[in-house]
Amino acid sequence: MNHGLIAVIDNDDLDRYIYKKIILLTCPSYRFIDFSNGFDALKYMRKNYNNAAALPDILLLDLRMPGLSGWQYLEQYDILKKSLHKTTRHYLCSSSIERVDRRINNGSLNGYYIKPLSPQNLREIIYDAEYNKAS
């Protein structure tokens, strides 16, 4: 049984590899895609805007990335989401969130976690996404 699609945007190859392993071991019924930057993720979503099965259910997003930060990605996603046939739940994952930034209240951000993401964190994210999909 396929529960959906989890996407990761992180410029660090090792972090993406760790996410993939945790996802495959913790929730093997989910498919996995990853992007090394927010530009590629937005391009993918624009290309698949009308294909709900190809759009992520859950997206794990790094905060600090060159080119397009996590915050900048979310700003662009907020513009794009009106045309998408599915809403993606976004969870910020960063190695440090020194202070609660005012942008943490972005409408497309559903939660945040400190890296490294644990299997328990991933289960919490999936539970949150499934619960909120049903309601």
Domains of the chain (ranges plus CATH)?
4-109 (3.40.50.2300)
Give the E-state strand segments of the chain in sequence order. Answer: 4-9, 30-35, 58-62, 89-94, 109-114
Tell me the whole-structure pTM to 2 decimals. Answer: 0.90
User: Following CA atoms 3, 31, 39, 50 in sequence, which dihedral angle do they give, to the nearest 10 degrees?
Assistant: -50
Provide CB contacts within 8 A for 110, sequence distance 6+: 89, 90, 91, 128, 129, 132
Three-class secondary structure of residue 59 per DSSP? strand
Q: Which pLDDT tens digit goes with each residue over 61-92?
A: 998 888 898 889 999 999 999 999 999 999 99
| pLDDT value at 130 more than 90 | no
